Amino acid sequence: MAASSVNIVIGGEAGQGLVTVGEFLARALARAGYALVVTQDYQSRIRGGHNTFAIRVDAKGVLAPTDSIDLLVALSADTLAIHKDRLTPRALVLADAAAGLDGLPGLAIPYKDLCPKPLYENMAALGVLGALLCLDPAWITGLVREKFARKGEDVVAANLAVFAAAMDWTASQQAAFACLAPPTHQGKRLLLHGNEAIALGALAAGINFCSFYPMTPGTSVVQTVIDHADALGVVVEQAEDEIAAVIMALGAAYAGGRALVSTSGGGFALMVEGVSLSGMLETPVVIVVAQRPGPATGLPTRTEQADLDLVLYAGHGEFPRAIFAPGDLSQCFQLAHRAVSTAEQFQSPVFILTDQFLADSFRDTEPFALAELPPVPRPLTAVADVGGYERYAVTPSGVSPRLVPGFAATTVVLDSDEHTPDGHLTEDLGVRVVMQDKRMRKLGGMMQAALPPDLYGEAAGTMLLTCWGSTLGAALEAAQMLRERGEPASVLHFSQVYPLVPDTFVPLLAAARRTVMVEGNFGGQLAKLIRRETGHVFDAHVARYDGLPFTAGFIVDKLLEVAR
C-alpha cells in the first residue's frame, strides 16, 4: 500500500551538497503536486560539522516538521549515529556502500560505481530517492535540464545518465519501501521559504528602498529583495551598521520611498534609537526581526521566539507601533503587505517577527493572488494649501497629511525634538501634551485595524493551545494528535501580537477548559503580555528554547509531562 506521508532527512557535513539534493527533491515534489515542509538544521560554520535538510512530504497537506525519520540519507558516517534513534519501523537508511549501513535496514549505495566523479553523487542520491518514492522521473529530469542548461548539453547529459543509472540500480534492489501515494494538488504550486514570502509580500506592497547590515537569519529577506531589485526598481544599500541602516531607511521614507530593513535580534538592539525616531518623526518604516536564540550572539543558526519583548519595548518614550508574527507562508506574504500598509497609514514603525525556522523552512503554496491585495496608502506629492501646510497638523485620528519634500512649493520640516505642528522644535510644554496626545491617538486606529487571533476549532470546553508566529503548524498538529487521543483540543494563533484587542480573544480563553501557551522562549513572553493586558493567566506553558523548532510530538510530550 502506498504511504501518504514520508519524512526524509538528508544528513552530512556542510559543503557536501546535501542542500543541493534536498532542494532538487523538494522542488520536484512540489511541482508534482505534493505538500511539504522543509527544515534545515545547520551549525555556524561554512564547512564540516553536521547538518540536516529534512523534507516532510505528504500527498494531501503538512503543517510542521516531525521528529521521526522514514528515509535517512547519510552523506557522512556521523549521520547514522546522530539520527538512528529517530528511525520509524518502516525506515530505510541510504548510505555509501563504502561506509556501510552499520546493521540498519537500508540500501548501501555504490556511489563509486554509479558516478564517474564524486561531483555526481548528488544525482545518484536523487535517483535512489526518486525511485523509492515512485516519483515520476520527469519531474527531476526536467529540473536538471533547467538547472544545468547554462553549463552546456554535456553537463546535462552526464547528470541525467547518473540519475538514470541510480534509478535502475534502485529498482534492481527491490527494497521494501512503500511508494508515496499520488499527490492531490492540481495546478501550479510555488515552493519558497518564509523570508522569501515576506520579501515578496513587501515588494507587492511597493517597498522600493531597503537598507541593511548582514545578520543571519534576517539577511535572506534582503537577499530576496536584492534578487529582484533591478527588475522592480528597488534601491538597496548595505549600510555601515544597523544604526545607519534604520536611519537611512527613515531618510528615504521622508523623501517618499517605501522603506524596509531586515535584521536579527543583535542587529535590532542597535536599531532601537531609530525606532523611537520613527515614532517621533511619524515616518514609516517596516522592520523585519528574524529571531534566533540569544542573548548576545547566542546560537546563530538556530531558532527561537524570544525577541517579542525586545521589539515590544524597543525605544524610549511612548509611541504607537504594530507587530505582526506570521505563522505560515501565506501569512508571511499577506502580513508583510499589511505591515507596509499599516506603517504607511499610521506613519509609525511596524515590525514583522520571523525566525530562523520560518527563514529556512521551504513550503509549498498556492500562487499568491496579487490582484486581490488592497491598495497601500501613499504619502502626498501635492497639497491644496501650500502656504498652510503643516507636517504635524493636529487631527482627530492623530494621522497628519504626510507631504514628501521637493514636490510642492512648500517645505517639510521634521524634528526629533518635541515640535510644533509645522515641525519646528519647541519647549512649550502645552504643545508637548497636544503632540503626544495626537501621536498616541494613532494607537486607537491601529487597534481598530488590528487582526484578531485565529481560532482553529472550538474554544468551549477544549484544551486551547495558544501560540504566535511560526509555532502555528506544530500547534495545529499537536491539537489533532490530542483529539485523536480523545482530548478535545483547539488552537488560538496570534498573527498580530501588538496591539492586542482583548475583546477579540478573552471570551475564547475564558470558555476553554484549559489554556496552554506554546511559545519558543523560556519566559513566556506573549503569555505575560496577555496577562498584563487582560489579567488572563494560562493554565500551563510549553516552552522550547533548545534552538530547534516546535514539532507536534514535542508539544504533546511536554503536555503529558506537565499532566503527570
Partner 1 sequence: MSAATPYGEFETAWCPGCGNFSIRKAVVAALTELKLPPHKVVFSSGIGQAAKAPHYIRVNVFNGLHGRSLPAATGIKLANPDLTVFAESGDGCSYGEGGNHFLAAIRRNIDLTYIVHDNLIYGLTKGQASPTTPLGQKTKTQPHGAPSQPFNPLAVAVTMGAGFVARGFAGDIEHLAGLIAAAVSHPGFALIDVLQPCVSFNKVNTYAWYKERCYRLGNDHDPADRRAALEKALEWGEKIPIGILWKSDRPPFGPTPKAPLATAEPNMAVLRDILESYA
Q: Which residues bind partner 1 (CB under 8 A)?
A: 30-31, 188-192, 196, 200, 203-209, 211, 228, 231-233, 235, 237, 239-241, 243-245, 247-259, 273-274, 277, 281, 367-368, 370, 379, 381, 404-417, 423-425
Beta carbons of 47 and 13 less than 8 angstroms apart = yes
Among 241, 201, 533, smallest CA distance to 336 is for 201
The residue among 67 and 237 lying less far from partner 1, judged by its C-beta, is 237
The residue among 53 and 368 lying less far from partner 1, judged by its C-beta, is 368
Alpha-carbon distance values, 229 to 93, 126, 263 (Å): 43, 33, 18
Query: DSSP states of 293-314 as a string?
Result: --STT--TTS-----HHHHHH-
Segment (H or E) for 173? helix 153-173
Beta carbons of 343 and 303 less than 8 angstroms apart = no
Smallest distance from partner 1 to CB 294, Å: 23
Smallest distance from partner 1 to CB 205, Å: 8
The residue among 387 and 535 lying less far from partner 1, judged by its C-beta, is 387
The residue among 197 and 509 lying less far from partner 1, judged by its C-beta, is 197
Cis link prior to 116 (omega < 30° from 0)? Answer: no
The residue among 185 and 541 lying less far from partner 1, judged by its C-beta, is 185
Smallest distance from partner 1 to CB 30, Å: 8
The residue among 114 and 376 lying less far from partner 1, judged by its C-beta, is 376
Smallest distance from partner 1 to CB 321, Å: 18
Smallest distance from partner 1 to CB 319, Å: 14
User: What type of residue sits at position 546?
Assistant: D
Dist CA 436 CA 430 (whole Å): 10
Smallest distance from partner 1 to CB 209, Å: 6
The residue among 148 and 407 lying less far from partner 1, judged by its C-beta, is 407
Smallest distance from partner 1 to CB 103, Å: 42
Smallest distance from partner 1 to CB 63, Å: 20
The residue among 257 and 293 lying less far from partner 1, judged by its C-beta, is 257
Sign of the torsion formed by the C-alpha atoms of 365, 366, 368 and 373: negative
Alpha-carbon distance values, 499 to 14, 199, 296, 312, 496 (Å): 41, 23, 27, 10, 7
Smallest distance from partner 1 to CB 259, Å: 7
CA 431 to chain centre: 42
Owner of C-alpha cell 485565529: 454
Q: How many other CB atoms sit within 10 Å of the CB of residue 409? A: 9
The residue among 173 and 426 lying less far from partner 1, judged by its C-beta, is 426
Query: DSSP states of 178-213 as a string?
Result: PPBPPP---S--EEEEHHHHHHHHHHHTT--EEEE-
The 8-class DSSP code of residue 302 comes to S
The residue among 249 and 517 lying less far from partner 1, judged by its C-beta, is 249
Dist CA 230 CA 447 (whole Å): 37
Dist CA 544 CA 558 (whole Å): 10
Smallest distance from partner 1 to CB 273, Å: 6
Q: Give the bridge partners for 365, in sequence order.
A: 190
Q: Is 362 helix (H, G, I), strand (E, B) or coil?
A: strand
